[in-house]
Amino acid sequence: MRAAPSPSLHGRFDRLLPYLQIAPLALVLFVFLLIPLALIVVVSFWDYDSFRVIPAFVTFNYTEMLGSPTIWRTMWSTVQFTLITLAITGALGFAVAYYIAFYVRSPVMKTIFFMACTIPFLTSNIIRMISWVPFLGRNGLINSMLMDIGLTAEPLDFLLYSRFAVVLVYVYLFTLFMVTPLFNAMSRIDRSIIEAAVDAGASPLQIMFRVVLPLTKTGFAIGSVFVITLVMGDFVTVRLMGGGQSASTGLLITNQISCCNILPPAPMRSCSSSW
C-alpha cells in the first residue's frame, strides 16, 4: 500500500496554495508593469537628443523639470482637472448607477440603459469632442437659445475654448467609467440588508449614507482609478477644447516631444528651455 501524505506536507501545500494561485498574475504584472516602469526610471537619467538616447547618467532632466515654475503650474492645473472631473463623475455615476440598480426592475430595461450609455463609445473620442463645438460656440445652439429667451444679451465666451469646456468634455467622456463599477457594486448588495434598515426605521438618506455608500466603496475606488488615469494622461481634450487657454501634463509632454523632434540634434537641456 502507498503511504498517505504526512500532515506536515498537507500543511505546507495549503500555505503555498494562495501564492501558487496568484503566481501567474504576479508574473504578468512583473513582466509587463514593473519591468517597464523600472526601465522608464533608468532611461529618465539618460541624456538624449532628437534622434537617439544616450546612456549617460545625468540629473539635469529632473533639475530642469522640478525647477520650472511652468511645469509646477501645469501639474497643479492637471490635478485641478482631475479632482473636479472625479467629483462630478462620482456624483453623476452614483446617481445613474443607483437608479439603474434599485429602480429599474426589468433586466431588459437595464440592458437598454447600458446600451444607451455605451453606444457613443462606438465613435472616436475626438469626434465626440468636436461635436460639442456647435453647441458651445459663440454662435452655437446654447448661446443662441440663451439670447432668444432673454437670459443673456451677448454670447457667453466661457462655454468654448476654456477650462469649463475641458471639464465638460471630461465628464461627458468618462462618466461611464464611474457608472459601470458602481453599478456592479450596487448589484451585489443584499436587498435584505436594505429591508432590515427600513424595518429598523432608517430614512432614505440614512440608508443611502450608512448602507449603500459603505458597500459601494470598492466601486468608487475602481471608478476613481479609471477616471484619474484617463484625465491625467489625456492631452487631446485640453488641446482641442482648451483653445490654448489651458494646459495639462500630457499636453506639456506632447509639446516637449514635438519640440525635440523639430529642433536640430542637440542635448535635451537646449530643448527643455522651451518649457
Does residue 205 surpass a pLDDT of 70?
yes
Does residue 8 surpass a pLDDT of 80?
no
Q: Could you give the CA distance from residue 234 to residue 250 in angstroms, rounded to a whole number?
A: 6
> Mean per-residue pLDDT for 178-194?
90
Residue 62 lies in a domain: no
Q: Which domain holds residue 195?
A: 68-274
Residue 129 lies in a domain: yes
> Mean per-residue pLDDT for 191-208?
88
Does residue 32 surpass a pLDDT of 90?
yes
What DSSP character marks residue 6?
A: P
Flag the least confident range among 9-13, 125-129, 201-205: 9-13
Residue 241 lies in a domain: yes
Confidence of residue 240 (pLDDT cuts 50, 70, 90): confident
Which pLDDT score, from 0 to 100, does residue 36 have? 93
Helix ranges (H only) for 188-216 are 191-199, 204-207, 213-215
Does residue 203 surpass a pLDDT of 50?
yes
Helix ranges (H only) for the chain are 7-29, 35-43, 60-66, 69-102, 107-118, 125-130, 133-136, 141-148, 163-187, 191-199, 204-207, 213-215, 217-232, 236-242, 249-262, 268-271
Residue 137 lies in a domain: yes
Q: Could you give the CA distance from residue 13 to residue 19 in angstroms, rounded to a whole number?
A: 10
Q: Could you tell me which of 227, 271, 93 has the C-alpha nearest to residue 237?
A: 227
* 105 CB-contact burial (10 Å; exposed 0-12 / middle 13-18 / buried 19+): exposed
At 138 the three-state DSSP class reads: coil
DSSP 8-52: HHHHHHHHHHHHHHHHHHHHHHIIIIIHHHHHHHHHTTSEE-SS-
Which pLDDT score, from 0 to 100, does residue 17 have? 82
Strand partners, 53: 48
Q: Could you give the CA distance from residue 114 to residue 214 in angstroms, rounded to a whole number?
A: 24
Does residue 35 surpass a pLDDT of 80?
yes
Flag the least confident range among 29-33, 150-154, 218-222: 150-154
What's the predicted TM-score (pTM) here? 0.80
Domain count for the chain? 1
Residue 179 lies in a domain: yes
Q: Could you tell me which of 112, 118, 93 has the C-alpha nearest to residue 178?
A: 93
At 99 the three-state DSSP class reads: helix
Residue 245 lies in a domain: yes
Q: What is the pLDDT of residues 132-168, one digit of tens each?
A: 888 888 888 898 898 888 888 888 888 888 899 999 9
Does residue 66 surpass a pLDDT of 90?
no
Q: Could you tell me which of 261, 211, 251, 263 has the C-alpha nearest to residue 70?
A: 251
Q: What is the pLDDT of residues 16-28, one digit of tens each?
A: 888 888 899 999 9
Residue 117 lies in a domain: yes
Residue 7 lies in a domain: no
Side-chain half-sphere exposure of 70, counting CA atoms within 13 A:
12
Which pLDDT score, from 0 to 100, does residue 275 have? 45
The domain that holds 145 is classified in CATH as: 1.10.3720.10
